[in-house]
Amino acid sequence: YEHQDATLFASWGIDMIKVDACATAETAEVLMVRWLTELNGTGRPILFSNCRNGCLNDDEGADMQWQPWCTDTVNMWRTSYDIKATWASFLANLDTLKGRGTYGKPGSWNDPDILEVGVGEFVWDGTDAARDANRAHFSMWCMTSSPLLAGNDQRGAPEGLTSVLTNPKAIAINQEYAGNAGDLLTVFNSSAVSTSTGTLEIWLKPLPNDRVALALLNREADRTATPASITLELADLDPRFFGLGSTDLALGTLTCVAEDAWDSTTSTVNNQHTAEVPPSGVVLLVLSQCTAS
């Protein structure tokens, strides 16, 4: 019935299909390749999502090795279990993206599941804490080039919540690509000395035109906790991200313009940048116009 179903779906004008195939006896590759053929045969552009196994080894309890057929077969693949509307589930799904930035590319993307912005523990109650948590969730999906599928009820959504989901600077980060879908700073540079603890993280995504996006994330679940200092050392960043030579940093000072994606402020950063990040919060920056002297 797969040919019949694909033809019917296309006749309805659908734009996306997700194939799950729980308990199937076939390998994920066999199943997904067959559906790829059926969908392409309809003549309609349809986003093809693999919800089967995150494009890992079929034995998910084994070595969890990446399956290279995936990027040539589907447009997006789940990397995680189903997300729940909790801070802990958001973090767990985000963690499945660590080390996967090189896999995502135009036409094929990591998918940590639907956004829970405005739902459950992310419900919008008008407080700064709710704002911070929703911004953090949305920012991290943007930083990792993840699909932005809103999971909240759009009808009558609070203006503040809608402003999170429609932030043009965050969405621009999500939509741009320059060789990596986004990953932990320490994946790019294992010797980085910028802040990196079990609770505090820095994520990086290269952007076109000699720019870099950075997310300074405070994973602390207790929203009443005090903000934490997160320090970015510019020397941890590959100067080639900014169109500079590999030896330019030996000259001394690296100076960049930093724009905050949430408050739209800009500042000049010399060598390092420290931000006070609220619990369950993020600071989302774009660095540009970097020079070494």
* Domain coordinates in residue numbering, the chain: 1-78, 183-292
Of the candidates 20, 58, 59, 125, the residue annotated as catalytic is: 20
Of the candidates 58, 59, 72, 82, the residue annotated as catalytic is: 82
- Closest to 236 in 3D by CA, of 275, 200, 280, 185: 185
* Sign of the dihedral through C-alpha 229, 233, 234, 240: negative
What is the residue whose two structure tokens read 């405070």? Answer: 218
Question: In angstroms, what is the C-alpha Rg of the chain?
Answer: 20
- The residue ranking higher by pLDDT, 224 or 29, is 224
pLDDT tens digit string along 126-142?
Answer: 999 999 999 999 999 99
Q: What is the pLDDT of residue 27?
A: 80
pLDDT tens digit string along 6-54?
Answer: 999 999 999 999 998 777 888 888 889 999 999 999 999 999 999 866 5
Torsion region of 39: left, alpha or beta (phi above 0 gives left; psi -120 to 50 gives alpha): alpha
- The residue ranking higher by pLDDT, 94 or 253, is 94
**pLDDT-derived band at 97, boundaries 50, 70, 90:** very high
Can you list the positions of beta strands (E) in the chain? 16-19, 47-50, 76-78, 109-111, 183-184, 200-207, 211-218, 228-233, 254-260, 266-270, 272-277, 281-292
Provide the whole-model pTM: 0.94
* 82 catalytic residue (yes or no): yes
Superfamily grouping for domain 183-292: Golgi alpha-mannosidase II (2.60.40.1180)
Q: What is the pLDDT of residue 137?
A: 98
